Amino acid sequence: MLAIRHVTRRFGETTAVDKVDLEIAEGEMVGVIGRSGAGKSTLLRMINRLIDPSEGEISFQGTQVSALGGAALRRWQRDCAMIFQQFNLVPRLDVLTNVLLGRLNHRSTALNLLSVYSREERLKAIAALERLDIAQTALQRAGTLSGGQQQRVAIARALMQEPKVILADEPIASLDPLNAKVVMDSLADINAREGITVVTNLHTLDTARQYCSRIIGMARGSVVFDGAPEELTREAVHRIYGGEGRAEAIPEEITSTSIDTPLRPQGEQPRLEPALAG
Amino acid sequence: MGAFHAHEAEALAARYPDVFARSLRSRLTGWLIAAGIVAYFLFAWWFFSIGQVLANGNWGIAGIYMADWVSYEVRPDIEFRDNHLEISFPRFSPLGENPDPAWLVEKRAIVEIRPEEKGSVLTGAASPSGGFLGNLGGNEDTADESFLGALGGGQPNMRRTDEVSSETVLKTRREEAVVEASVSFGSGNRVDVFPERVEVTRGGEMLILDIVRDDRVEVRGPLPAWASQREPGAKVFVYFGFSGRAEIGNDEVTVRRRFLGWENFVFDTRSPFWGRPAGEVISLIVSGERLDPERSNAALAWNNFLNNAEWQHGDVWLKLLQTIVMAFAGTVLATLVAFPLSFAAARNISPNRVGNFVLKRFFDFLRSVDMLIWALFFTRGFGPGPLAGISAIFFTDTGTFGKLYSEALENIDEKQREGVRSVGAAPVSVQRYGVVPQVLPVFLSQSLYFWESNTRSATIIGAVGAGGIGLKLWEAMRTNTDWENVAYMVLLILLVVFVFDNISSALRRRLIGAEPGQH
Amino acid sequence: MSVTSPVLSTAGRTIEAHWQELAVRRRLYTIGGILFMVLAMGGSFWFANESNAGKFFDRLPHVFDFIGQLVPRDGLELWRALFDLPSPYDDGSLKYNYPEGRVYVTESAYIPEYIYKMLETINIALVSTLIGFGIGFVLCFLAASNLTTRRWLRFFVRRFMEVLRAFPEIVIAGFFLAVLSLGAIPAIMAVSIHTIGALGKLFFEVVENADMRAEEGLRAAGANWVERVWFAIVPQVLPNFLSYALLRLEINVRASTIIGAVGGGGIGEALRLSISRAHEAKTLAIVLLLFCTIVAVDQFSAWLRRRLVGNQAFEFGG
Ligand SMILES: Nc1ncnc2c1ncn2[C@@H]1O[C@H](COP(=O)(O)OP(=O)(O)O)[C@@H](O)[C@H]1O
Ligand SMILES: [Mg+2]
C-alpha cells in the first residue's frame, strides 16, 4: 500500500502540494485530475522522489520512502516507474537500448557503462516492445519515432524495471486521440494483468472516468475529491476545476480530446482491451 | 515479467534476428574505437620514446624547482678550523650583508688561533655547492645538459675575507671565535656543529658524525633513513624535507635552509628600506627624514621597489604592458582592416564573384601562414619587440576576422536590407542602416573574444623573439634559478588574462544579450 | 530645428526632448569611445615603437626584405630541401646539407627530415587533443550546474579549468624542459593542459544547454549519477564535443608548432633555426610544408565537423 501523509511541497512562496493525505491500495488504477498548476505533477514527482517533500511522509509497504537516500532511494525508484508527458527518452539512442535502460538498477554500473547486456535481457526488452506492438522499431533511434510510439517505448522501459507502481504524468497530453487510446489501453492492461498499481495524471475527465477505478481531484495543492468515477458529480467537477461561479463554465479541454467518450455504465468494470492479444 | 521458457525465447529471437546481429556489431564498434585509441597512445609512447624520457627525467630536481616557486633558501657555510668554526654566507644572500638569523645560534669563546696555511682559505674557492644544480644526489650529468644547457651557476660562494688578513702572522693569538653552531630546522630538528663533531637530530633520532678534518667523515652507528653517504668516509647528506638539508663534508658543513615565501619582494637588500617593518617604512615615507638628500623618501622607496634587483618589478611590468599592447593593438588593427574587406568578400554584399573568391583565399592564406611564421618574419623585419608581435597578430587575425566577418555577413537577415533599400537609400546607406546594425555586435563580440585569447598568444610569440613578458619568462626559466620570478610573472599573467576575460565576456554579453551557459 | 516643424502636443514635445537627449548622449558616447580608442591606439603604437629594437619608420622599407632573402638559388632547391636530396651547391655548410637528418626506415627508404618533424608536430597535437578531450570530458560534467548540485565542487572545477586555460603554455613547456631535457613531452604537456581547460569550458557550456528530459527519465528509473550522465547526456552532447575537439585539433597543430619553436622540437624549432640562419631554401620548404599541413588539417576538420553537426556556426580560438 502506498500511503501519503500530510505531504506538503513549497517552491519559495507557492505551495504546490498542500497537506495531502492519500492511501492507494495495491493494484488500483488511480486517475489524478485537476487544473493545470493544481500540483498533480508535483505530487507524482514526490512519490518517485524526483523532488523531495517539504513536510510529511510517503511510505510504501511499510517502507518510509521519503526518508530513503543513495542506493536504497534508487532501488525505490526502480520499483516505482515513471512515465512522462514528454516521454523523456534518450533520442539519440536506439529504441532497444532505451528499453534496456530500464534495467540499469538491476545491474552493476560497470556493465551498464560498457553496454553489456545478456541475451535474456535483450529478449525481455523485445518481448516488452512486442507487447506494446512496436518491436519492429527496435533498431531505430528513439528520436525518429512518433509521439505515440515514443510513449510506448517509455512504457516498455517502465515494464523492464519490473516495477510495483507505475506513475504516469499526463502520459497522453501530447498525443493524438488514437495514440492516446493505445497508450491508456496499455496502461490499463498492465494494471489488470500484472496487478501493478498505476497512478496517472490526466487532463481530460472522460479518460479518467473511462479507465480509472478511482479518481482523485486536486485544486490548489489540496485533494478536493476522492472517490469512484460515478461519484464525480457536476458539483465535484466544479470543486476541482472551479468554474468561476457557474457550473456550466467548465473548460472545454476537460471533456474533448478522446475519440470515444461513452460514460461508463454504472457499476461496470472498465472494459479492458489488451494492447496485443496473447 | 518472469523468466522465459526456452522455446519462447527461441521463437522471439527468431522473429527479430537483425536485432541480435546488430547489437553485437554496434557493441564491437565501441570496443574497436577504444582499442584504436589505446593503440594510438601506444604508438605515441613509442614514437616519442616517452618511457625512456620519463625514466631519464630528473625528478628530484622537479620537486626543488616546484618548491622554488613559493620559497627560498638561505645557504650558510660552516667551515671547520682547528678548534673553532667559521660561518659565512654567500654574498647575495637574501638576508643581506650581515646575516644573523635566529635559527643559527653561535656560541663564542676565547680560543687560541693558530694561523692557517696559505691557500686553504682562499677567497672564492670553488665551493662544492657552487652551481645550483651542482650536487643534487649525484645527478650532475643529467642536470647539466638540461634545458638549453644554460645553468645559472648560482652565486659563487665568496668567503668573507676580513677575518684572515693577507699578511698572516705566524704566531698564535687569543681571540674570540665561534666554537659551536646550531642550525635549527624547526620542530626540534637541528644540526649542531662542533669543530671536530657534528650532531644531527631529527624526529627524536640522533646521528653523530666525527670529523677528521680535510680527510674523512666518520658515522657513529647506523645511518638513519633521512641521511645518506655514498661511501664510508665521504660526505654525509641529511634531509629535513621542505625545511632544507645539510651536507657534512670533512672541511665544512653546507646548510640549505628553506623558507616559505618570496624573499625581499618589496625591497632588495641594498635598499635603505630593507629589513624594516612595514609600519616603519610607511612612517618613513610619510613623514620621515630624508634618507637620500636628493629626493623624497616616497620617490626613493618607489625607485627602490621598481629596481628591486631580485624581482625587477619595473621591468616585469613594462614587459607585461608590452604584451598587453601587442594583443590590443594587433586585434584592433586587424578588426579595422578586416571590417571593410569582409564587405567586399561577402557574396551577398558585393556581387563580384572573382573579388569574393580572391579575398576569401587571401584571408585563408593569412590565417594558414601561422602566427609563428609571421612572428619569426617580423622579428627579422622590425627587430625583436612589440612591433613584431603586433604585426604577427595583425596579419593572422586579419585573416581570421575577415573569414568570420564575411561568414556573418552572408548570414544576415535580408529583410532589413530590403526595407532600407525600399526607401530609396544610396548603396552605402543601405549597408550602414540595413547591415551594420545587424552585424556590428557580432563583429565586436568576435573581436573581443580574440582580444582575450591573443593576450595569451602574445605571451608565446614573445618567447620566439617578439619580446614582452614571454621573452622575460623564457629568460627567467633558462637560468633554472629564478623559478620564484617565473611564479610572479605567471601570477601577473593569470591576473591579466582573468581581468580581460571578464571584461571581454561582460562586454560581449552586453553586445549580444545574455550568453547561455554563463554562470 | 526652426523650419516649419509641426506643432506638437505636450506629450509629443516631451518625447521629442527625450529623443534629443538620448541622441546627444549616444553621440557623446560614440565620440568618447572613438577618442578613447584613438588615444589608446596612439599610445600603444608609441609605446611599442619606443620599446622595439628597430623603429617602425626606419624599418618599414625593409620589412619585406626577407622575401628577397627567401629566393633560393634555383627552383629545384625548394624540393631538394623538402625531400632531403643532395644539392649541387653543397659546400659542407649547414645551408645546403639537405640529406643530413634523413630518418631511415629501412636501409634505403627514408623519411625526409622536415616531413618527419611535421609528423612529430602533428602527433603532438593529436595526442594533446586526445588527452585534453579525455580529461575535459570528465571534468565538464562536474562543472555543469544541471548535473552537479554541489556549488563548491562546481566552483572549484570551473576555477581549476580556468587556471589550466590561462596558464602560460611556455611555462609548462619550460618547466618540463628543465626536468626532462629535450623531447616531445614538454610540448605535449603544455598543449594538453591548455586543451583540458579550453575544451572543459566549451564542454560544460554544451552540457548546461542539454535537454534534461532524458536525464529525468533515467533518474525516475533509479539510475545513478554516472549512468544518467552516460546514457542521457553523453549521446546528446557527443557530436558537439567531437566537433569542438576537431576545432581544438586545428588550433593545437598551430600551438604545438609554436611551442616547438621555443624548444619543444618538431617543425617549429626547425623553422626558427632556418629563419635565424637565413637558409632560404630550407625556410621556404618548411613554410610550404606547414602551410599545406595547416590547410589540410583545417579542411579535414571542417568536413568532419559538417558531417557531425551540420552547418552549425562556431566560434574558434580560445
Ligand atoms: N520546480 C519548480 N519551481 C518552482 N515552482 C514550481 C516548480 N514545479 C512546480 N512549481 C509550481 O507548483 C505549482 C504546481 O505545479 P504542478 O505540480 O506542475 O501542477 P500540475 O502538474 O497540476 O499542472 C505551480 O504553481 C507551479 O508553478
Ligand atoms: Mg503537470
Instruction: Give the phi and the psi of residue B400 in degrees, each rounded to 5.
Output: -65, -50
Given this model, what pLDDT does residue A9 score?
Answer: 93
State in Å: Cα C216 to ligand 2 middle.
Answer: 14
Label residue A168 by pLDDT band (50, 70, 90). Answer: very high
Total number of domains constituting chain A: 1
Residue A198 forms part of a structural domain: yes
Residue nearest to atom 19 of ligand 1 (CA): A37
Mean pLDDT lowest among B230-244, B416-430, C112-126: B416-430
- Asked if A38 and A220 touch (Cβ cutoff 8 Å), the reply is yes
pLDDT attached to residue B450: 87
Task: Output the pLDDT for position B129.
Answer: 35
Task: Tell me which residues of chain A, numbers 93 to 122, contact chain C at a CB-CB cutoff of 8 Å.
Answer: 93, 97, 101-102, 104-105, 109, 112-113
First and final C-alpha spacing in chain C: 50
A17 in a structural domain = yes
Q: Is A36 in the pocket of ligand 1 (CB under 6 A)?
A: yes
Q: Name the least confident of A160-164, A246-250, B424-428, B486-490.
A: A246-250
Q: Which residues of B touch C52 (CB under 8 A)?
A: 382-388, 467
The residue whose C-alpha atom lies closest to atom 11 belonging to ligand 1 is A16
Q: What DSSP character marks residue C28? A: H
The finding on whether A38 has its CB within 6 A of some atom of ligand 1 is: yes
Q: Cα–Cα distance between B157 and B93 in angstroms, integer?
A: 10
Residue A266 lies in a domain: no
Q: Look at residue B513 in the predicted model and tell me its pLDDT.
A: 63
- The pLDDT value recorded for residue B213 is 79
CA distance B374 to B457: 13
Position C133 pLDDT exceeds 90:
yes
CATH code, residues B313-512: 1.10.3720.10
Touching B (3+ Cβ pairs <8 A), the chains are A, C
Specify the higher pLDDT residue, C97 or B238.
Answer: B238
Tell me, using a 6 A CB cutoff, whether residue A85 lines ligand 1.
no
- Domain span including residue A29: 2-255
Chain B neighbors of C272, CB-CB under 8 A: 376, 464
> Is A16 touching ligand 1 by the criterion CB < 6 Å?
yes
pLDDT digits over B107-154, tens only? 877 777 776 654 444 333 333 333 333 333 333 333 333 333 333 333
Helix (H, G, I), strand (E, B) or coil at A15: strand
Look at residue B506 in the predicted model and tell me its pLDDT.
86
Tell me if A39 CB under 6 Å of ligand 1.
Answer: yes
Q: Which of B68, A251, B95, B465 has its CA nearest to residue C276?
A: B465
User: In this model, does residue B466 exceed pLDDT 90?
Assistant: no
Most confident of A135-144, B34-43, B421-430, C309-318: B34-43
* Chain mean pLDDT for chain C: 84
Contacts of C218 in chain A (CB under 8 A): 90, 101, 104
B153 dihedral zone (left: phi>0; alpha: psi -120 to 50; beta): left
Ligand 1 atom nearest A36 alpha carbon: 23
Percent of all residues in chain C with a pLDDT value above 70, rounded to a whole number = 95
What's the grid cell of residue B478? 633558462
B259: exposed, middle or buried (Cβ count in 10 Å: 0-12, 13-18, 19+) = middle
Instruction: Say which residue, A257 or C246, is predicted with more confidence.
Output: C246
Question: B37-55, pLDDT tens digit by residue?
Answer: 999 999 999 988 888 888 8
More confident residue, C313 or B473: B473
Q: Of A275, A51, A146, B3, nearest to C216 (Cα)?
A: A51
pLDDT above 90 coverage of chain B, percent: 9
Is C181 close to B142, i.e. CB distance below 8 A? Answer: yes
**Over residues C270-274, mean pLDDT:** 87
User: Which of A1-5, B3-7, B429-433 has the lowest average pLDDT?
Assistant: B3-7
pLDDT digit string, tens, across residues C28-40: 988 998 999 899 9
Q: Residues B342-357: pLDDT tens digits?
A: 988 988 888 888 888 8
| Residue A263: per-residue pLDDT | 42
Mean pLDDT of C114-140: 93
The CATH code belonging to domain C111-309 is: 1.10.3720.10
Radius of gyration of chain A (CA): 19
Q: Whose CA is nearest to atom 27 of ligand 1?
A: A37
Residue A239 lies in a domain: yes
Residue B180 has pLDDT above 70, yes or no: yes
pLDDT tens-place string over residues C50-59: 887 777 777 7
What is the rounded average pLDDT for all residues in chain B? 77
What ipTM did this prediction achieve?
0.83
- Interface of chain A toward chain B, CB-CB under 8 angstroms: 96, 114-117, 119-120, 122-124, 126-128, 130, 135, 138-139, 159-160, 162
Q: What is the pLDDT of residue B264?
A: 76
What does the DSSP assignment read for C108-161?
Answer: S-EE-HHHHHHHHHHHHHHHHHHHHHHHHHHHHHHH-TTT---HHHHHHHHHHH
User: Ligand 1 pocket, A256 CB below 6 A?
Assistant: no
Confidence of residue B169 (pLDDT cuts 50, 70, 90): low
CATH number assigned to the domain comprising residue A152: 3.40.50.300
Does the pLDDT value for residue B472 go beyond 80? yes
Interface residue of B12, B19, B24 to substitute, partner A, most A CBs within 10 Å: B19
CA of B502 to the centre of ligand 2 (A): 40
Q: Are strands A55-60 and B71-74 parallel, antiparallel or unpaired?
A: unpaired
Would you call C169 an interface residue with chain B, using a CB distance cutoff of 8 Å? yes
CA dihedral C260, C263, C264, C270 (to 10 degrees): 50
Q: What is the pLDDT of residues B385-413, one digit of tens each?
A: 888 889 999 999 999 999 889 888 888 87
Average pLDDT for A104-112: 80
**Residue in B1, B18, B27 closest to A162 by CB:** B1
Q: Which long-range contacts (CB under 8 A, 24 or more apart) does C64-67 make?
A: C64/B381, C65/B381, C66/B377, C66/B380, C66/B381
Q: Provide the shortest C-alpha distance from residue B409 to chain C (in Å).
A: 13
Percent of chain B topping pLDDT 70: 85
